[in-house]
A and B are shown apart, each in its own frame.
Chain A
């Protein structure tokens, strides 16, 4: 490295007389940088970047500038080199000026050198454009119009370089992408259609560069008018590249994956183009070569990118997952989960994640392939990307339909999750809560209890108010699943969180404008309302919650409306043994205006809403038949009027004898009981629900109802 020091001294010299010597020194430095990454890092550690950047002075020798640009480009090939120097001082502005290959200030006869320099600079910019901040600084220094000019230059290499830089600028940056998409090339054309023509170029490198650029623009959502071009031109071009045995084969699957994530229609289209068998054969071929030569790592990138593409294709559609299974690539994927390369492990895990989004695969192929052990192993992985995709996959593995659920629980998965909630990054924490939520779905009471003993209700209470909304949502969903199915499960949640805290949390969530929080909060209530009298009464004691439920009955989302109606249905569920409690709840809800609101929803445009409303209204009508509309107020004023079933005595802990009427004539009979307002009952007989009541109600005689069932 002493040698390197000397070279640096030469290029750092202030005088411009001996530019040839400088050029030679720069070229020698460049040849080191073309070695491997450790060479590059050795160079940069000795401080070579600054003097190299200084060589770019536009008034200097074009040959020296070209050589410096080439060396810098080689150095920035390593993602581990700091980009800081480039964005300090005036370097970026100088660099961007060099993109202007056609500037009139340049001397004749040097077009080739200038053009080549511009290409190198475009490539440097593409490599130093990873954060939004860097993208904005580069665009802010005026690079975009110059790149556009380079793009339209007609020179093959320049166009490729310009495409690379433009792609890096628009990636994950919708604002900048929008700006670039709206610009015009020299002849007034927008860039997208121009680039689209380059997707059909003879050169595979050009095709890849153009397809990459359009992919990023498409994902930024700035060229919706070209959606069909993307589907009909870009997608097939990328798929065909999978079979080209040249440099583009390596990058193409990664671009393909990036393009089709989240898009069901594109995933299906790629599937229909038979991409899956191609990718499967690439992956198994790489494995074979690794075996034959005994050198792991020859084609790591190709394998990693192909795995990513498989993960993307099978992300959403069951049919695509089926094809992946049928391609017999799963054993290779499972092996890749223990690969020394971090990238391959993460990509393989994304594959298992996609494949595990299917009940069928969970029950069959994933069990056969034995993903459980390697997956569990990955929970100790040091890489955050691997860890997050492994935990995400586990969310699916612990579902009740998965035969692996029990064995992975026996390995102590719950404790692992609990630890991650405490110490992981936000994505891992989210996945861990998600997994526990899935794990207690449909679980037995003792499983729920065991999980919560490890998890701790105090931790759950904290997560319910976590800074991350997504985590709150999962925590609330967890409460929903815990309080599901059995009264003892609801009891557990009550004593774990404490009624007061539980209901305060629910009351709070019901005021947030977030569909998922609202829905889960409502279903917590729905589930609690299936419980005992005590559980139901606990809800009734929260006027704030009742008001919110009533308000949400007119929410714009049908799913929310349905959930609110379920709350009402369960709170008013007819129960001969507990008739008094049911009646009291009906009375309170009616006085709040619930019945009127239900009537209004009778004509809701959503079928599910109308269906549920029928059931809810039916409950109100049953009550009306038994007690009459105004009867209750009269009865309540009368206090201990023993002749009526509506006496509100239950709160005193005594037993009331209630006459349950089961058919219309009996209901009308009740109307003859001398209680004021009882005539209202007769009116109900004319309603459609009067007849339903006859068929639905269980015949029963006089039933003694304990007023307070528990506590």
Chain B
């Protein structure tokens, strides 16, 4: 019975770096000096001929998948480090083998290593600087929200199209469509970008005519902010949006879509900005519009639009 002096890893499927297994055996099927080197595919590198115990049911520790011999023991846990001869251990091994088989049925065969690319030879400084699409909860490129904005007694239909989510840069952008705001533009679409509150952007706005008082009275409209309402403006206050159930943001509209050159519209203004709170658990977005000379606390409420089943395309800046 081979004794494994070093097992690869508790979970070699997740850990593809498994390399070395050194079996020795007391039953004579393997000499003490035999070392079996395995690559991460679990393929025996040291000997091409099958080991004497390869097909022996008592020793059958290899499993063949598509002609590649996989080191079954890799997926077993480290408790196997001292398996000895004996009937009791036979049962144990059988059990472990069974577990292993089940894992394989579950598709847990070790994944193949892809070939190494030659594209890196010519140096493209952008190659390692990819802006991979990111997502969190309902915030991803292509996601949509629908809802209302209330201003005084009126209420307008609002749609939001998320176009780009870059969590690394703490930024999101998209289009905001409002219906029925003015006669000239029954459907008004603006481009907005979002600052995600966290390490990159503080709760304190310091721009767009907002002072700390403004910040406080708006952020405290969100109950999830309550615990921070006294400390958020302190110098040492730190906040990380990762792992939170809500994401606070500031949304700032910049120009019209499709014609970005139009900068003033009669009867509508997008000079202010929104204090936003997105709830990951419900997919809802609440917001309050702020502009020095506009009605205070115009409320934006949005819910995520879930199509029937969801398909996802993907683009990436180059």
Instruction: Give the contact stretch, choosing among A80-88, A116-124, A204-212, A551-559.
Output: A551-559
Q: Which residue of A lies closest to B15 (CB)?
A: A556
A386 within 8 A of B: no
Chain B contact residues, majority secondary structure: loop
Instruction: Give the contact stretch, choosing among A295-303, A313-321, A408-416, A621-629.
Output: A313-321
Using a CB-CB cutoff of 8 Å, which residues 112-136 of chain B contact chain A? 112-115, 117-119, 122-126, 128-129, 131, 135-136
The answer to whether A438 and B114 have CB atoms under 8 Å apart is no
The answer to whether A512 and B312 have CB atoms under 8 Å apart is no
| Cα distance A96–B49 in the bound complex, in angstroms | 51
Instruction: Give the contact stretch, choosing among A35-43, A394-402, A660-668, A702-710.
Output: A394-402
* Contacts known (A363-B191, A364-B255); A388 close to B124, Cβ less than 8 A: yes
B57 within 8 A of A: no
| Cα distance A611–B306 in the bound complex, in angstroms | 14
* Contacts known (A316-B169, A485-B313, A513-B114); A395 close to B191, Cβ less than 8 A: no
8 Å CB contact of B107 from A485, A549, A608:
A549
The answer to whether B118 and A468 have CB atoms under 8 Å apart is yes
B159 within 8 A of A: no
A526 cross-chain contacts in B, Cβ below 8 A:
310-312
A193 cross-chain contacts in B, Cβ below 8 A:
none
A396 cross-chain contacts in B, Cβ below 8 A:
317-318
* Contacts known (A261-B125, A434-B318, A593-B106); A484 close to B313, Cβ less than 8 A: yes
Using a CB-CB cutoff of 8 Å, which residues 149-175 of chain B contact chain A? 163-164, 166, 168-169, 171, 173
* Contacts known (A318-B171, A468-B118); A530 close to B314, Cβ less than 8 A: no
The answer to whether B126 and A315 have CB atoms under 8 Å apart is yes
The answer to whether B14 and A360 have CB atoms under 8 Å apart is no
* Contacts known (A548-B107, A554-B14); A357 close to B317, Cβ less than 8 A: yes
Q: Which residue of A lies closest to B120 (CB)?
A: A470
For the complex formed, measure the closest distance between the CB of B190 and the CB atoms of chain A, giving whole angstroms: 11
| Cα distance A608–B280 in the bound complex, in angstroms | 9
For the complex formed, measure the closest distance between the CB of B217 and the CB atoms of chain A, giving whole angstroms: 27
| Cα distance A468–B115 in the bound complex, in angstroms | 8
The answer to whether A513 and B14 have CB atoms under 8 Å apart is no
A427 within 8 A of B: yes
B105 within 8 A of A: yes
| Cα distance A426–B120 in the bound complex, in angstroms | 10
A656 within 8 A of B: no
The answer to whether A555 and B255 have CB atoms under 8 Å apart is no
B52 within 8 A of A: no
The answer to whether B107 and A441 have CB atoms under 8 Å apart is no
Q: Which residue of B lies closest to A489 (CB)?
A: B311
The answer to whether B260 and A608 have CB atoms under 8 Å apart is no
The answer to whether B314 and A523 have CB atoms under 8 Å apart is yes
| Cα distance A513–B41 in the bound complex, in angstroms | 10
Using a CB-CB cutoff of 8 Å, which residues 201-243 of chain B contact chain A? 243
Instruction: Give the contact stretch, choosing among A54-62, A136-144, A566-574.
Output: A566-574
For the complex formed, measure the closest distance between the CB of A553 and the CB atoms of chain B, giving whole angstroms: 8
| Cα distance A392–B316 in the bound complex, in angstroms | 11
B67 within 8 A of A: no
A477 within 8 A of B: yes
B131 cross-chain contacts in A, Cβ below 8 A:
316, 357
* Contacts known (A468-B118, A470-B117, A485-B311); A356 close to B125, Cβ less than 8 A: no
For the complex formed, measure the closest distance between the CB of A619 and the CB atoms of chain B, giving whole angstroms: 10
The answer to whether A363 and B114 have CB atoms under 8 Å apart is no
The answer to whether A477 and B310 have CB atoms under 8 Å apart is no
The answer to whether A477 and B163 have CB atoms under 8 Å apart is no
* Contacts known (A512-B111, A547-B105); A527 close to B317, Cβ less than 8 A: no
A149 cross-chain contacts in B, Cβ below 8 A:
none
8 Å CB contact of A430 from B119, B281, B316:
B119
A318 cross-chain contacts in B, Cβ below 8 A:
166, 169, 171, 193
For the complex formed, measure the closest distance between the CB of A407 and the CB atoms of chain B, giving whole angstroms: 13
The answer to whether B314 and A551 have CB atoms under 8 Å apart is no
Q: Which residue of B lies closest to A547 (CB)?
A: B107
For the complex formed, measure the closest distance between the CB of A564 and the CB atoms of chain B, giving whole angstroms: 10
The answer to whether A477 and B314 have CB atoms under 8 Å apart is yes
8 Å CB contact of A442 from B168, B255, B313, B317:
B313
* Contacts known (A359-B173, A480-B313, A593-B106); A573 close to B255, Cβ less than 8 A: no
Using a CB-CB cutoff of 8 Å, which residues 272-318 of chain B contact chain A? 280-281, 308-318
* Contacts known (A262-B125, A262-B128); A554 close to B191, Cβ less than 8 A: no
The answer to whether A315 and B312 have CB atoms under 8 Å apart is no
The answer to whether A469 and B114 have CB atoms under 8 Å apart is yes
The answer to whether A570 and B310 have CB atoms under 8 Å apart is yes
A431 within 8 A of B: yes
* Contacts known (A262-B125, A427-B124, A442-B142); A607 close to B243, Cβ less than 8 A: yes
A511 within 8 A of B: yes
The answer to whether B113 and A513 have CB atoms under 8 Å apart is yes
* Contacts known (A262-B129, A363-B257); A427 close to B309, Cβ less than 8 A: no
B105 cross-chain contacts in A, Cβ below 8 A:
547, 593
A481 within 8 A of B: yes
* Contacts known (A318-B169, A530-B309); A359 close to B119, Cβ less than 8 A: no
* Contacts known (A481-B313, A552-B107); A468 close to B119, Cβ less than 8 A: yes
Using a CB-CB cutoff of 8 Å, which residues 167-202 of chain B contact chain A? 168-169, 171, 173, 191, 193
B254 within 8 A of A: yes
A172 within 8 A of B: yes
B46 within 8 A of A: no
| Cα distance A548–B254 in the bound complex, in angstroms | 46
A437 within 8 A of B: yes
8 Å CB contact of B311 from A315, A388, A527:
A527
* Contacts known (A316-B131, A551-B109); A517 close to B312, Cβ less than 8 A: no
8 Å CB contact of B309 from A262, A438, A470, A573:
A573
B interface footprint on A521-555 (CB within 8 Å = 1, 0 otherwise):
00100110110000000000000000111111011
The answer to whether B313 and A316 have CB atoms under 8 Å apart is no
* Contacts known (A468-B117, A485-B311); A360 close to B136, Cβ less than 8 A: no
B168 cross-chain contacts in A, Cβ below 8 A:
264
B108 within 8 A of A: yes
The answer to whether B258 and A403 have CB atoms under 8 Å apart is yes
The answer to whether A523 and B107 have CB atoms under 8 Å apart is no
8 Å CB contact of A392 from B13, B110, B318:
B318
| Cα distance A136–B110 in the bound complex, in angstroms | 38
B135 cross-chain contacts in A, Cβ below 8 A:
608
The answer to whether A431 and B318 have CB atoms under 8 Å apart is yes
| Cα distance A434–B168 in the bound complex, in angstroms | 22
B16 within 8 A of A: yes
The answer to whether B112 and A401 have CB atoms under 8 Å apart is no
B118 cross-chain contacts in A, Cβ below 8 A:
426, 468
Q: Which residue of A lies closest to B138 (CB)?
A: A611
B314 cross-chain contacts in A, Cβ below 8 A:
441, 477, 480-481, 520, 523
A201 within 8 A of B: no
8 Å CB contact of A360 from B114, B173, B316:
B173
The answer to whether B119 and A484 have CB atoms under 8 Å apart is no
| Cα distance A442–B315 in the bound complex, in angstroms | 9
* Contacts known (A356-B317, A481-B314); A317 close to B169, Cβ less than 8 A: yes
Given A359-B191, A360-B191, A514-B114, list of 4 further CB < 8 A pairs?
A363-B191, A392-B126, A395-B317, A569-B309
What are 5 A-B pairs with beta-carbon distances under 8 A?
A364-B255, A431-B318, A512-B112, A527-B311, A570-B310
Closest 7 CB pairs of A and B: A551-B107, A395-B318, A513-B111, A261-B125, A547-B107, A527-B311, A441-B315
Q: Which residues of A contact B (CB under 8 A)?
A: 172, 261-262, 264, 312, 315-318, 353, 356-360, 363-364, 367-368, 388, 392-393, 395-396, 399-401, 403, 426-427, 430-431, 434-435, 437-438, 440-442, 467-470, 477, 480-481, 483-485, 511-514, 517, 520, 523, 526-527, 529-530, 547-552, 554-556, 566, 569-570, 573, 575, 593, 597, 607-608, 611
Q: Which residues of B contact A (CB under 8 A)?
A: 13-16, 40, 105-115, 117-119, 122-126, 128-129, 131, 135-137, 142, 163-164, 166, 168-169, 171, 173, 191, 193, 243, 245, 254-255, 257-258, 260-261, 280-281, 308-318
